[in-house]
Amino acid sequence: MLLLISITLSQLLLGVAVVAGILTAAVAFFNKGQKNWLMSYLQNFTGFLFVFSGFVKAADPLGTAYKMEQYFTEFESTFEGTWMSFIAPLFPKLSEISTAFSVTMVIFEIVLGLMLIMGAKRKLTSWLFFLLVAFFTFLTGFTYLTGYVPEGGNFFDLSSWADYNKNNMKVTDCGCFGDFLKLEPKVSFFKDVFLLIPAIYFLFRWKEMHQLFSHKARNIAIVASTVLLFFYCISNFSWDIPHIDFRPFNIGKDVATQRTAELDAMANVQIKSWILEHNTDGRTLELPNAQYMKEFKTYKEDWKVVDNIQTEPTVKKTKLSDFEIMALNGDDVTEDFLSEEGYTLMIVAYKPKYETSMATRVVQDTTFALDTIITFDLETKLETVQIVKSVDSITLVDQKYVKYDWDLEYIDKYNNIIKPLADQALINGVKVKAIMGGADEDNVASFVNETGLNIEYYNADEILLKTIVRSNPGIVLWKNGRIVYKWHYKKVPTFDTILSDYIR
């Protein structure tokens, strides 16, 4: 598995600009008849940008699918209760096919980038590029503008809009570059607006686009790249985890140390100023923290606090700060887990697959009779009182309970793959713990009854578990709060291999 370091947007665009310059020079050398070098450069710049942004998403298509689910959820809540409410039921259906949507969109983005660089099907490519950029602009623009919609307001109720507050946005990262580069929707929106310039330019000047290779070669390249990208995308979640890991829970990460540093940095954040809003006319006012703390009684009747401005933490916050494991009784055991010495196999099930239904079972209802027996000891002349409980009657009664109908294919994964691995690990002194999304004592008891996997079970947030490993179930090997390695359930090796290659 590969791990790449993250960069800023400006560094990325600079790199794309340099690559585009090299490609344009190559076009100048091999394509002597090309004269519109601005067009050629824009083809290469936008084409390579799309290839790169598509590739980092192709390495983790499930991440893009989860992001699309966020968008669809936000769209559903936005359209509900408006005159366009008939559109709202569409979005849950789109969420159900979010993975297929993600794979299709990622492949389309990369292939379109290649078509721009090659100059394939110039008119069609120009229109497809314009429509895709317009679609991205709509997504990021909508998300950015929700920053003006206060809590409880609706996007289409323009009269409710207030000052921009990024905390109002339900989707805080556009997902344009997957987990490789996190961009706020505001930044990404302006990026997409900028891309509309070459997109419109292509529509009117598509005949001046350079073309590389022959018509047949370009068509072969389009078909071949589509097929290869399809298998590459599928391989990164269907039978293996992403081979390039941009997420914070990557192999080798010292989660315990980094999480502590992030939490300490956030605890030391200082409030610089307060944003107040007048209760009557809606005017806003920013007061330095010291002044507000001294004079807040003066403002509390006519003004309300709507936001505050804080210093930046010395350590950037990531999902590591959200790492939290709960016992089934609700106790927070995160620190205990991260501070535990030695090796631990974590079985991650971010979404256990089962259906629930109410069922009835017959149970015994026992009624007890209580008798009082008084005895007198002649020697000590003391009375002893005893309460004796005896069975008075036993009746059969109907009891309602929640029945868990487990997906048989899901249970087979545990019976055939996970349990044999866990049994061998326990025999060799390696701890095994299962972390399940939405786990409670009832469904865990039902799960243990189905699988016989009698290990320690904990609960954690589903999104957190999806971030840790893109497999359901997935296996993560920890040592002293650090991630040693992780596997897709279809790629997990035998315990003997884990023992020889990863446990030292």
Domain assignment of residue 80, yes or no? yes
At residue 395, what is the residue type? T
Question: Looking at residues 22-47, what average pLDDT do you find?
Answer: 87
Higher-confidence residue: 386 or 192? Answer: 192
Q: Would you state the pLDDT for residue 393?
A: 77
Mind spelling out the 3-state secondary structure of 37-88? HHHHHHHHHHHHHHHHHHHHHHCCHHHHHHHHHHHHHHHHHHHCCCCCHHHC
Higher-confidence residue: 21 or 32? Answer: 21
Q: Would you state the pLDDT for residue 34?
A: 66
Looking at the fold, whether 302 and 413 belong to one and the same domain comes out as no
Domain assignment of residue 247, yes or no? no
Contacts for 6 with CB less than 8 Å, ≥ 6 apart? 180, 181, 246
Phi first, then psi, for residue 183 (nearest 5°) are: -120, 135
Residue 4 has pLDDT above 50, yes or no: no
Question: Looking at residues 324-345, what average pLDDT do you find?
Answer: 94
Domain assignment of residue 315, yes or no? no
Contacts for 310 with CB less than 8 Å, ≥ 6 apart? 269, 270, 271, 272
d(CA 211, CA 14): 25
Residue 150: closest CA among 284, 9, 248, 350:
284
Structural contact between residues 195 and 47, judged by C-beta atoms closer than 8 angstroms? no
Looking at the fold, whether 280 and 342 belong to one and the same domain comes out as no
pLDDT single digits (tens) 200-210: 999 999 999 99
Higher-confidence residue: 386 or 342? Answer: 342
Percent of the chain with pLDDT over 90: 54
Looking at the fold, whether 448 and 305 belong to one and the same domain comes out as no
Q: Would you state the pLDDT for residue 3?
A: 47
* DSSP string across 290-301: HHHHHHHHHHTT
How big, in percent rounded to 5, are the helix, strand and coil portions of the chain?
50, 20, 30
Looking at the fold, whether 14 and 47 belong to one and the same domain comes out as yes
Lowest mean pLDDT among 150-154, 323-327, 466-470: 150-154
Structural contact between residues 379 and 355, judged by C-beta atoms closer than 8 angstroms? no
Looking at the fold, whether 178 and 138 belong to one and the same domain comes out as yes
pLDDT-based confidence at 33, cuts 50/70/90? low
Q: Quote the pTM value.
A: 0.84
Looking at the fold, whether 395 and 413 belong to one and the same domain comes out as no
Looking at the fold, whether 15 and 152 belong to one and the same domain comes out as yes
Residue 121 has pLDDT above 70, yes or no: yes
d(CA 287, CA 305): 10
Decide which of 235, 262, 287 is a domain's last residue: 235
Q: Would you state the pLDDT for residue 395?
A: 80
Higher-confidence residue: 72 or 222? Answer: 222
**Count of domains forming the chain:** 4
Domain assignment of residue 277, yes or no? yes
d(CA 221, CA 349): 39
Domain assignment of residue 461, yes or no? yes
Residue 172 has pLDDT above 60, yes or no: yes
Kindly report the average pLDDT of the chain as a whole number: 88
Residues of the domain holding 364: 358-402
pLDDT-based confidence at 400, cuts 50/70/90? confident
Looking at the fold, whether 379 and 276 belong to one and the same domain comes out as no
d(CA 459, CA 116): 47
Looking at the fold, whether 183 and 144 belong to one and the same domain comes out as yes
Question: Looking at residues 239-262, what average pLDDT do you find?
Answer: 92
Structural contact between residues 161 and 282, judged by C-beta atoms closer than 8 angstroms? no
pLDDT-based confidence at 6, cuts 50/70/90? low
Most confident of 21-35, 115-129, 397-411: 115-129
Tokens of residue 98, six digits: 């979010």
Question: Looking at residues 450-454, what average pLDDT do you find?
Answer: 92
CATH (domain of 412): 3.40.30.10
Domain assignment of residue 59, yes or no? yes
Domain assignment of residue 242, yes or no? no
Tokens of residue 45, six digits: 């710049």
pLDDT-based confidence at 1, cuts 50/70/90? low
Give SS3 for 363.
strand
Tokens of residue 449, six digits: 């009854």
d(CA 223, CA 225): 6
Contacts for 403 with CB less than 8 Å, ≥ 6 apart? 356, 357, 358, 359
For residues 256-283, b (16+ Cβ closer than 10 Å) or e, as one string?
bebbbbbbebeeeeeeebbbbbeeeeee
- The DSSP H or E segment spanning 463 is helix 462-468
Looking at the fold, whether 155 and 231 belong to one and the same domain comes out as yes
Domain assignment of residue 248, yes or no? no
Residue 336 has pLDDT above 90, yes or no: yes
Structural contact between residues 437 and 496, judged by C-beta atoms closer than 8 angstroms? no
Looking at the fold, whether 342 and 447 belong to one and the same domain comes out as yes
Looking at the fold, whether 335 and 377 belong to one and the same domain comes out as no
